[in-house]
Structure 1
Amino acid sequence: MYEPIRSKSVHALAGRGQNPGQDFPHRSREEELDIQLAGHLAALLAVTDELRAVVPSGDLADAAEQLAAEIARLRGGESPVRSAVAAAIHEPYLAGLHRRAHALAGRALVVAASRADTAAAILAAERMDAHTAALRDREPAGAAQ
């Protein structure tokens, strides 16, 4: 009724080499955290570039350069891809970008703290503060109760 399986399981094959269980590349916990942190910072950089396209500011430009430098450090010198966004963005979308950037900075902060990367943790915390301040400045006068 069913055709029998003719090949060995990939799990069985993995243990057959000279070093059982070592037939495929492994990454250390630190390498995995570096990859994860670089990903969060790259996403934050993309949102920062998007915000810079709408509301150019020296603070956002400085933050983007710091983020790019930190990503390059984590990726062994490989520069991140930069976003070039040119669109008319309305106010609620702008607030959404700040909220997204705040959340991404928070994720980066958690990973940076778990890998004891002080520079990345400080940068992420500064970005969280900046986006919190930007959201507070955009809040209607009666809504802050």
Structure 2
Amino acid sequence: MYEPNRTKTATVHRMGRGRVDYPHRSRAEELDIQLAGHLSALLAVTDELGLEEPAERIAAQVARLRGAPPARNAGRSGEDAATLRRRAHELAARVLLVAASRADTAVAILAAEQMDAHTAALEPAGAH
């Protein structure tokens, strides 16, 4: 059964006033965190594919957003290259979406390039 709060400090009516005990982040900070997370996931797949140059460019953007270089592990999932390319394409699309929301042109361009590269790699030879 419902029993009302008996202390004045925990009432709903006091919320929004006084000292707040948890950190608040701005929308821009939240987008930075989200973008760095998507880029890190893309980096992991790119490393697994063995694509060194794109991986270095992605790692540089993660480092810029986080203020520290990303942890990298070239662990193998056992997935075939086509599956990894499709996953990388999906991750690059997420990166592009968040980069556009954040107005981060450099990351948006990098993501679009990665989407194009993975699409081209998935196309059968001679199909255009």
Asked if these proteins are the same fold (TM beyond 0.5), I'd say yes
Structure 1 position 69 matched with structure 2 position 65: no
| Alignment CA distance shift 1:14-1:36 (3 Å) | farther
Structure 1 position 104 matched with structure 2 position 91: yes
The answer for the alignment partner of 1:32 in structure 2 is 30
The answer for the alignment partner of 1:134 in structure 2 is 121
Structure 1 position 122 matched with structure 2 position 122: no
| Alignment CA distance shift 1:13-1:81 (3 Å) | farther
**Secondary structure, aligned partner of 2:32:** helix
Counterpart AA for 2:46 = T
Question: What is the root-mean-square deviation of aligned Cα atoms in Å?
Answer: 2.8
**Secondary structure, aligned partner of 1:27:** coil
TM-score by length of 1: 0.74
1:41 to 39, 50, 53: 39
CA distance in 2, matches of 1:117, 1:11: 42
CA distance in 2, matches of 1:36, 1:69: 16
**Secondary structure, aligned partner of 1:83:** coil
Contact 1:15 1:23 in 2 (8 A): no
**Secondary structure, aligned partner of 1:79:** coil
Structure 2 unmatched runs, 5+: none
| Alignment CA distance shift 1:140-1:26 (3 Å) | same
Q: How far off is 1:94 after superposition?
A: 1.2
Query: Number of matched residues?
Result: 127
CA distance in 2, matches of 1:50, 1:11: 52
| Alignment CA distance shift 1:71-1:13 (3 Å) | farther
